[in-house]
């Protein structure tokens, strides 16, 4: 005669459900972390694109004004929340007899997870454009 305790130990009918209950929270957490990092990389790509297009416009002749460059920055950014985007900063100067403009913008990414929040990440991009 088989004892009831040994029969219970030999039963594997709920093993898959128990294993899934252990692994599921980790899997869900990993998925959300992946989405948050994707958001961060997408925002970085949008910021780099905007700065690159603004720097390209700054190198054209006739010289563009800072207002025109700022308009191009706003038009060429993608995936960014305008409320988290700073106004562009322009620093002009001369290096080796050549005029230049440094264009800087910052963007704050909100990283919110399900159970906890993380400090906001601030992305900053600067590009130097030599002017004709």
Per-residue tens of pLDDT for the chain, all 132 residues: 556 667 666 777 788 888 999 999 999 989 988 988 999 999 999 999 999 999 999 999 999 999 999 999 999 999 999 999 999 999 999 999 999 999 999 999 988 776 677 889 999 999 999 999
Residue 74 domain-assigned (yes or no): yes
Provide the domain count of the chain. Answer: 1
The parent domain of residue 37 ranges over 19-130
**What pTM was estimated for this model as a whole?**
0.84
Residue 13 domain-assigned (yes or no): no
Determine the pLDDT at residue 12: 75
Residue 97 domain-assigned (yes or no): yes
Residue 7 domain-assigned (yes or no): no
Determine the pLDDT at residue 114: 67
Cα radius of gyration (the chain): 27
Distance CA 22, CA 15 (A): 11
94 class by beta-carbon count within 10 Å (0-12 exposed, 13-18 middle, 19+ buried): exposed
Residue 3 domain-assigned (yes or no): no
Tokens representing 97 are 């007899």
Determine the pLDDT at residue 100: 97
Residue 9 domain-assigned (yes or no): no
For residue 71, whether the previous peptide bond is cis, meaning omega lies within 30 degrees of 0, is: no
């Amino acid at each position: 005669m088989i004892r009831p305790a040994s029969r219970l130990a030999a039963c594997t009918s709920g093993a898959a459900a128990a294993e899934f209950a252990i692994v599921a929270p980790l899997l869900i957490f990993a998925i959300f972390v992946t989405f948050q990092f994707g958001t961060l990389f997408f925002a970085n790509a949008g910021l780099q694109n905007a700065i690159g297009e603004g720097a390209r416009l700054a190198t054209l002749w006739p010289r563009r004004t800072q207002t025109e460059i700022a308009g191009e920055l706003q038009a060429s950014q993608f995936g960014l929340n305008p409320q988290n985007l700073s106004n562009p900063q322009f620093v002009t100067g001369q290096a080796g007899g050549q005029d230049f403009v440094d264009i800087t913008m910052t963007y704050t990414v909100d990283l919110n997870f399900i159970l906890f929040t993380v400090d906001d990440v601030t992305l900053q991009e600067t590009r130097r454009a030599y002017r004709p």
